[in-house]
Amino acid sequence: MSSHLIAGRNPVMEALKAGASIEKIMILFGVKGNVIEKIRATAREKKIPCVETDKQKFRDFAGEADAQGVVALLGTKKYSEIEDLLAIARELRQKPFLLILDEIEDPQNLGAMIRTAECAGVHGVIIPKHHAASVNRTVSKASAGATEHMAIAKVTNLVSTMEQLKEAGLWMIGTDMDGGKSYDQIDYSIPLALIIGSEGSGMRRLVKEKCDFLIRIPMFGKIQSLNASVAAALVMYEVVRNRKAAQRV
C-alpha cells in the first residue's frame, strides 16, 4: 500500500464516489464551480474534512501538480491480489478480461491505460513491482480518477503470474510489432489477459515467450509504432467489440 494525493476536480470527485479512503480535501481559496460544490457537498455527507487554504499552503500540499484548485489526500492505495481480479469476473458472470502492463514507466501512459481499462470493463490491471511506474498522484490524475475504481495487482514476477493465470484458464495475448496476426483477427470471447509491453522495447523476452498469441497493429505511415496507451486502447476496445458481437450470435 502507498499513500498518495489525487489532484484535479474530476479525479477527486471520482475518488469520493468510489468510496476511497480520503483523509482530507484541500481547496484553493476562491475557487468556484459546479464540481467544486459537488465535492464540498459529498465530503460533508461522508464526514471528510474539506478545508480552504491560501496559495502558499496549497502549493506546499499539492506540489507542482495541475490540481485545478483541489487535491485529496488518500490514506492508502490498497493493491489487490490476483484472485481478487478473477473473483470480479466471476461475480459479474463474465469471462475474465485482465490487462498486464510489462514495465510501463511513464506515469501518464499508465494512468491513461488504467482509465481506458476501466471504461472498457476490464476486470483488473496487473503491474510489476520493479522497473515500472507505481500508482501515484500523477497516475491518478492521468486516469481521471479511474485508479479508485479499478482493481490493481502489483506482482513480483510477471512470468509466474502469467503461469498462474494460465492454470486458471486464461489465454495470454501479447501485443508485438512482429506479431503473427493483426489485432482484429483474434477471437477474444475466451478468458484472457492482454499484455502491453514497455514504451521503448516492448515486452521482455520471457514475458513474450509465455504468450499464447502475439498480435500486431498494422502501421500505414512512416512511423512504425503507436504510443503504448493508444495501442492498448485500440486492442481493449477490439476485445469489447468482439465480445459484444459474439453475444449477438
The DSSP line for 182-202 is EGGGS---S-EEEEE-BTTTB
Distant-in-sequence, close-in-space partners of 160: CB < 8 Å, separation ≥ 6: none
All three cell numbers of 210, joined, read 509465455
Give the chain's radius of gyration (CA, Å): 19
Q: What is the pTM of this model?
A: 0.76
Roughly what angle, to the nearest 10 degrees, separates helices 228-248 and 107-119? 10
Q: Are 100 and 196 in contact (CB under 8 A)?
A: yes
Q: What is the pLDDT of residue 148?
A: 82
Distant-in-sequence, close-in-space partners of 53: CB < 8 Å, separation ≥ 6: 26, 27, 28, 29, 61
Q: What distances in angstroms separate CA 18 from CA 33, 149, 150, 151, 220, one per listed residue?
A: 21, 6, 10, 12, 41
All three cell numbers of 184, joined, read 482484429
Q: What is the pLDDT of residue 102?
A: 95
> What domains lie within the chain, and their CATH numbers?
2-77 (3.30.1330.30), 82-248 (3.40.1280.10)
- Angle (nearest 5°) at CA 72 between 45 and 236: 100
CA 228 to chain centre: 13
Tell me the sheet residues that pair with 5. Answer: 73
Cβ count near 191 (within 10 Å): 17
Q: What distances in angstroms separate CA 172 from CA 12, 168, 224, one per listed residue?
A: 34, 11, 24
- SS3 readout for 102-151: CCCCCHHHHHHHHHHHHHCCCCEEEEECCCCCCCCHHHHHHCCCHHHCCC
Q: What is the pLDDT of residue 2?
A: 44
pLDDT averages per 10-residue partition of the chain, 249 residues: 74 88 89 94 91 88 77 79 96 97 93 96 95 82 85 95 98 90 94 92 93 92 86 97 87
In degrees and rounded to multiples of 5, residue 173 shows phi and psi of: -120, 115
Task: Indicate left, alpha or beta for 44 from its phi (over 0: left) and psi (-120 to 50: alpha).
Answer: alpha
Label residues 55-78 b or e (16+ Cβ within 10 Å = b): eeebeebbeebebbbbbbbbeebe
